[in-house]
Amino acid sequence: MDNEALIDSFSDFKSEKNIDRVSLMAILEESIRCVLRKKYDSSKNYDIIVNPDQGDLEIWRNRIVVKDGMVKDLNKEIELSTARKIEVDFEIGEEVTEKVELKSLGRRAILTLRQNLLSKINEFDYTNTYKKFKNKIGEIIHVEVYHILPNQIIMRDEEQNEMVLPKKEQIPNDFFRKGDPVRALVKRIDWKDNKPLGILTRKDDSFLEELFKLEIPEVSEGLITVKKVARIPGEKAKVAVESYDDRIDPVGACVGIKGSRIHPIVRELKNENIDVINYTTNIQLYITRSLSPAKVSMMEIHEKNKFVNVYLKLDEISKAIGKGGQNIRLASLLTGYKIHVFQDFPYEDDVELTEFSDEIEKEVIEKFHKIGLNTAKSILNSINKDLSKRTNLEEEIINKVVSILKKEFEEELNI
């Protein structure tokens, strides 16, 4: 193989892999130097000129002229008599530059060169693919089903890059045929057999969040923020949303008129039931909303241990728990609190604590509010010693408050 033939061959690689000119030149030069190092232990005394656009490749070896019989390294030194056959006026210590043809390196070296070229081109291609995949982590992409295996589905994107949708990252109701278009989120990039492999997901919470960005303009524009997502893929999900613009109803905007905006997302998730709720920093209200459609009578929030006791009327308990415990599980995931459900304290009606402001000091009521106790029932359903410890109020004050509250319900309790 001569220099021109190598360039022609390399140009084929370039077209196939879509390599830019600068990278092409660097790969070719490094491949040649690799062969030279293998043959001569060094390539530092070689100049390599590459012009792939014109099909030019020149290799020049530089050697120092030494006295006859004093050559220690044939690759870097040349005898005076040999140098003068090239040019008669060469002197000792001068540098001789000679053009080197590829075929002079030998058949094995040329074969190694081709192998190095192919290896480096593939390495370059894989690195580029890895960078493209990496930049898409967390994004939803459009792919096509290429091959279906028991534990995974091989997908291909528009550039024919292969990606994998593992069984564990599929929605339980997902069913695909070869050639089907699929939307999935790029979860991470793995390396397999020295090749980058995109791992896709349709099961991750972030897939639902990204669908909101794609389907709801206010979310993609940043007018509405998805604060938290909790999913049981294919079954049920809860999404907390917030708007910084008081003119925008975040829940209404996400659901749309008659569900017009949420329905495409539900269909994409194989009829996954989606509850959209207003996010709030008021944890009591946030937990109440997260347990929708159940109506909460009262609750006791334990900030330190991140759990809450929720009290509901008997016919509301099943709504709070939901089918197979889905509703309460998602509410816990959404709020970050472990939720315990109890039957409501046996009073017919509850009374807001603020209703007793003429009998209970404002500062005392505020201390109860700080620990999530806002109603008479929520206090009467607690142990006095526990209340004293959580509010830092003296037991005498606690007992007085409990006594006042009990009087409100004496008739119902037949006291």
For residue 11, give the nearest of 50, 43, 46 by alpha carbon. 50
Q: How far apart are alpha carbons 413 and 248 in whole angstroms? A: 46
Domain boundary among 279, 313, 340: 279
* Residue 17 shares a structural domain with residue 119: yes
Which of the four pLDDT bands, split at 50, 70 and 90, describes residue 180? very high
Q: Angle, nearest 10°, between helix axes 3-17 and 21-40?
A: 130
pLDDT > 90? residue 104: no
pLDDT > 90? residue 226: yes
Phi, psi of 31 (to 5 degrees): -65, -40
* Cβ count within 10 A of residue 21: 12
Phi, psi of 51 (to 5 degrees): -135, 85
What is the DSSP track for 258-276? GGTTHHHHHHHTTS-EEEE
Cis preceding linkage at 52, omega within 30: no
pLDDT > 60? residue 4: no
Give the model confidence (pLDDT) of 24-76 as tens digits. 778 788 888 888 888 788 888 888 887 766 657 788 889 999 999 898 888 89
User: Encoding tokens for residue 249?
Assistant: 């109803």
* Residue 11 shares a structural domain with residue 114: yes
Provide the edge-to-edge strand list for the sheet that holds 236-243: 224-232, 236-243, 273-278
* Residue 193 shares a structural domain with residue 260: no
* Residue 193 shares a structural domain with residue 234: no
CB 163 within 8 A of CB 134: no
**Does 137 fall in a domain?**
no
**Does 348 fall in a domain?**
no
* Residue 154 shares a structural domain with residue 271: no
* Residue 44 shares a structural domain with residue 96: yes
The enclosing domain of 397 has a CATH number of 1.10.150
pTM of the predicted structure, to 2 decimals? 0.65
**Does 292 fall in a domain?**
no
Instruction: Identify the pLDDT of residue 273.
Output: 95
Q: How many domains does the chain have?
A: 4
The enclosing domain of 60 has a CATH number of 3.30.1480
What does R_g of the chain's alpha carbons equal in angstroms?
37
Instruction: Identify the pLDDT of residue 413.
Output: 45
* Residue 7 shares a structural domain with residue 128: yes
* Residue 123 shares a structural domain with residue 8: yes
In this prediction, residues 89-95 reach a mean pLDDT of 90
Is 240 strand, coil or helix? strand
Q: What H or E segment, with its residue span, contains residue 165? A: strand 162-166
Distances (CA, A) of 52 to 14, 29, 364: 10, 11, 84
Strands (E), 18-158: 46-51, 56-66, 77-79, 95-100, 140-148, 152-156
Domain boundary among 113, 132, 151: 132
* Cβ count within 10 A of residue 184: 24
* Residue 99 shares a structural domain with residue 186: no
Residue 119: what residue type? S
* Residue 31 shares a structural domain with residue 96: yes
Instruction: Identify the pLDDT of residue 414.
Output: 44
Residue 122: what residue type? N
Q: How far apart are alpha carbons 414 and 343 in whole angstroms? A: 20
The enclosing domain of 176 has a CATH number of 2.40.50.140
**Does 309 fall in a domain?**
no
**Does 325 fall in a domain?**
no
Instruction: Identify the pLDDT of residue 128.
Output: 81
In this prediction, residues 120-134 reach a mean pLDDT of 82
**Does 288 fall in a domain?**
no
**Does 342 fall in a domain?**
no
* Residue 191 shares a structural domain with residue 213: no
In this prediction, residues 169-189 reach a mean pLDDT of 94
Residue with token string 């999404």: 239
* Residue 268 shares a structural domain with residue 371: no
Average pLDDT, the chain: 86
Q: How far apart are alpha carbons 190 and 207 in whole angstroms? A: 19
**What residue numbers bound the domain in which 250 lies?**
204-279
The enclosing domain of 215 has a CATH number of 3.30.300.20
**Does 345 fall in a domain?**
no
Residue 379 class from Cβ within 10 Å (0-12 exposed, 13-18 middle, 19+ buried)?
Answer: buried
Q: How far apart are alpha carbons 138 and 188 in whole angstroms? A: 8
Bridge-based pairing state of the strands 152-156 and 162-166: antiparallel
Instruction: Identify the pLDDT of residue 339.
Output: 94
Domain boundary among 132, 161, 191: 132
